[in-house]
Chains A and B, each alone.
Chain A
């Protein structure tokens, strides 16, 4: 499930991979408090939004929770691409980069 810090989370609504997502924005930032166990940090590019997602064991769970159609984003961890079955671990920082161009 998506979680936002109760005191500092703000509701956000935006479009990624052309799917409207309603989620709570991660407001801790790199200098924020330590994440509780089982939480994955996610940044969406090029939108630059940040989230924390919990109970996402695999990439497929993460995409499902964020309501992102598979194949519309690159799933990046460090200098590697992850496939949908890849396991996620606590404190992973994942970039979801839209592959869609328009115009």
Chain B
């Protein structure tokens, strides 16, 4: 197979785009596509300071690579989740990436506060991903504030968005559909805009880009991801894609351009108060992260306290 652009031997074939690329042409194609998405969706401009949420996986490192190479000002932020060897390797890959490119990386370690994801799971008796998601949202928001960034970029890709959209549509979760957008505007002055510059690039595209640009990423998955419903949706969509290339792209793209406007977000209004724990905006006395933390600390204290008899 030959490169559609220069006729050299191709390394990547994208059926959804009816094209094949050699290494050099693919890297150019991918970067341009991400930049065009950022510009078209008005995600941010050259003056922005972008907090890139980096996990050490292919998507977030590919995103960081593109943003840095294209001259955007970035700060990488890695939340160390404390999920055994997986988290250890994730931090290692992220640090190596930043060091090799001379990029600014900030990290926060959940275990420092006794909040490693496995510990939160045990204390709350709920799925790991619930507490993990709450912690990520909280730390991304507060890191943007702390490091003076005006936008948060995450590595969610086309497959992530398509799987999430399918899940939301299957249950007609209109409130979730209203919030599934590639650009989320802040609802409070202490929050910043959140964007997904890879929402139109598939996992195959980001993985190919990472490999061909020599990015060393964590190939293994978070052990808690196994069996997630999202993987079932992804498998269904991949089968659809293989018989009808471009399905995922049109599913997500058409939703964003034509469908999503029909689902109006029920605004909760500006958050009225300030969290007593962390100072971030909050709907109650404590924000959802601080109440989670309080719940965990209460349970951990009662579990370690000697049984008292009266």
Contacts and interface: CB of A to CB of B under 8 A. Distances in A.
Interface of A: 17-19, 45-46, 69-72, 74, 76, 80-86, 97-103
B208 interface: yes
A38 to B, nearest CB: 23
Contact of B238 (A69, A85, A102): A69
Contact of B231 (A18, A69, A86): A18
A71 B11 contact: no
B238 A82 contact: no
Name the residue among B57, B219, B234 with the largest chain A CB count within 10 angstroms.
B219
B120 interface: no
Interface stretch (B42-50, B221-229, B290-298): B221-229
A17 B1 contact: no
A17 B12 CA distance: 18
B204 interface: yes
B238 A72 contact: yes
Interface of B: 1, 10-13, 15, 20, 57-59, 129, 159-160, 202-204, 206-208, 211-212, 219-222, 224-226, 228, 230-232, 234-235, 238-239, 241-242
Name the residue among A18, A98, A100 with the largest chain B CB count within 10 angstroms.
A100
A80 B11 CA distance: 7
Name the residue among A46, A74, A80, A102 with the largest chain B CB count within 10 angstroms.
A102
Given A74-B207, A76-B211, A103 B58 contact: no
Contacts of A46: 219-221
A15 to B, nearest CB: 9
A87 B105 CA distance: 42
Contacts of B1: 83-86
Contact of A81 (B129, B160, B208, B219): B208
Given A83-B11, A103-B222, A103-B225, A74 B211 contact: yes
A80 B208 CA distance: 10
Contacts of A71: 15, 202, 204, 238, 241-242
Contact of A82 (B11, B224, B239): B11
Contacts of B231: 18, 100, 102
5 contacts: A82-B11, A99-B204, A99-B206, A101-B160, A103-B222
Given A74-B211, A86-B1, A18 B238 contact: yes
